[in-house]
Structure 1
């Protein structure tokens, strides 16, 4: 095709395979493969069977990453989720010890989690001038404080009837039930964020809240729903956490908020809002889970594992900017 300048412009479509490989999700898939190769060479016990056996301990946190991605897309943050897990686990254990039906125990954890999330959502939508970090920091202290007062001097509770929790901690062959649930919910949350009207409105709020409001988006309603779902998924995390520990204590859920944020941001969700998708978050979650299993098999200190995850997180935030600078430098050199 000839332009006005007389030069010929070739209409060459972009190679779709190249686009996939060099997308952030493609890079994460490559990193996932490399992490598994590293873990297999680092630990002689690292194999598919051992990973599936130890994975449930870490997978519970992935439930919180799904709604956390929505909150980050809004351009906000929730640091109370670890405390919500603690309170939900504590109260569900107490209900379990009254010999209540297991469905009531599960509903207790989910309802407590949803109510805590609704409290966050109500405060943030009622008092719009308050920053989410300060509000959720305050509710984090409140929720964990309630759990600590409820647990009393001992600071812990063990369940007396483990049948229900043992059942949901079961497996199909070598594959734990929780893995199926994580994958199913991951697909649903990803589709809902990327393809639904609700998801598009969430991106619009994160991009420009004022413009979204004047475009007819129910900004505060959507924010309230997302924070409530965040609490609900924290309650679900508590259920599966109790299924592996058969109890709860004052430290239950410590640091879970940072793990959920790290998984989402490492997956490409922008902390400034309006960017990213859950596909990358799901891949990054499994990278972190496999890394923890592999390093844990060699008794690597938990703080060292956190350090490695922190380095990966910094790299995830910095790499897109570095790639952008390189592309600009190459373009300038061509011109």
Structure 2
């Protein structure tokens, strides 16, 4: 009897081991949830599956999603950047004033990209050179960048953009596929390769797991973090170009309150707030999930404040879930 029982246990162990690891991954759970939300939206509104409705929904999250990709790297290395929305505002302001004096798309976009990159560099330098915690620095620069925007613009809106500028935020590269959404997909592939297939990505995970060990293994931790913060600033400027183009104007309140949405995308995607783990695939799935949730709620006329409550609840739940599961495992083990 003992032999029979032992062999049956071994068979069960083999069956468990034969299951691929991705079946139990956070990405698989997110994907299943996304599919479920998709079908719920189909039942909730007859207009959900309309191709133009789905296409329009992508415009509501593509700019945020583009910023979520580099922000994932920031969180993986145990830092945070909550100044992203303010960087968008200041970059848009730079583009607005440039458009007042020239119709050159190159100069207008360059002004925004330069300002955004410099903002990211300032964050990175304050964090890596002065050893100030990222949360403190980016709270300060969030107010600084937004304050400069209000001082420069006051109550006015800058609208003197050339007609061709509208393509970045309103144009289509194929039927039902907007330029913004296509750009997000391309950038997501590039970040996947960067994080999963290069030495830069391996150094990023090493720093997130143990910054001290990474430093003594020869990684220039300060330089690496500085590059990541510069990347965040640059892609904030890319998002600023698209958002300003979509709205057709620059206002001091542009992208106000976007920080929560973007951080939620990253953390919901499985990037640990404690650093050292997370994937671009998870972030991309989380982007689609949040896009579907917002789209579905919008189609049934749920107020924006309720959407904010739901997003905040999602963020709290995702951060709390690992601790809850760990406590349950400990109780079961005892």
When normalised by structure 2's length, the TM-score is 0.91
Which residue, 54, 66, 72 being the options, matches 1:51?
Answer: 54
RMSD (CA atoms): 2.0
Q: Secondary structure at the match of 1:252?
A: coil
Q: Which one is further off, 46-55 or 63-72? A: 46-55
Q: Secondary structure at the match of 1:217?
A: coil
- Correspondence 1:91 to 2:58: no
Structure 1's 230 and 262: CA in aligned 2 closer, same or farther, altered over 3 A?
A: same
Q: Deviations over 1:79-132 (max 9, x none)?
A: 11110000111111221232331122111111110010001111111101x111
Q: Deviations over 1:226-254 (max 9, x none)?
A: 00000001000101101210012111121
Q: In the alignment, is the contact (CA less than 8 A) between 2:59 and 2:180 conserved in 1?
A: yes
Q: Secondary structure at the match of 1:12?
A: helix
Q: Secondary structure at the match of 1:163?
A: helix
- Correspondence 1:323 to 2:328: no
Structure 1's 160 and 69: CA in aligned 2 closer, same or farther, altered over 3 A?
A: closer
Structure 1's 109 and 48: CA in aligned 2 closer, same or farther, altered over 3 A?
A: farther
- Correspondence 1:118 to 2:114: no
Q: Which one is further off, 313-322 or 231-240? A: 313-322
Q: Deviations over 1:178-208 (max 9, x none)?
A: 1111111112112211221111111111122
Aligned twin of 1:162 = 163
Q: Which one is further off, 163-172 or 115-124? A: 163-172
Structure 1 residue ranges without an equivalent (≥5): 1-6
1:214 and 1:39 map into 2 onto residues whose CA distance is: 51
Aligned twin of 1:30 = 32
Q: In the alignment, is the contact (CA less than 8 A) between 1:51 and 1:290 conserved in 2?
A: no
Q: Secondary structure at the match of 1:83?
A: helix
Q: Deviations over 1:248-282 (max 9, x none)?
A: 21111212222111100001001111111111111
Aligned twin of 1:3 = none
Structure 1's 217 and 157: CA in aligned 2 closer, same or farther, altered over 3 A?
A: same
1:132 and 1:234 map into 2 onto residues whose CA distance is: 17
Q: In the alignment, is the contact (CA less than 8 A) between 1:57 and 1:241 conserved in 2?
A: no
1:300 and 1:15 map into 2 onto residues whose CA distance is: 45
Structure 1's 162 and 16: CA in aligned 2 closer, same or farther, altered over 3 A?
A: farther
- Structure with greater proportional helix content: 2
Q: Secondary structure at the match of 1:269?
A: coil
Displacement of 1:326 in angstroms is 4.1
Aligned residues: 324
2:44 and 2:257 map into 1 onto residues whose CA distance is: 26
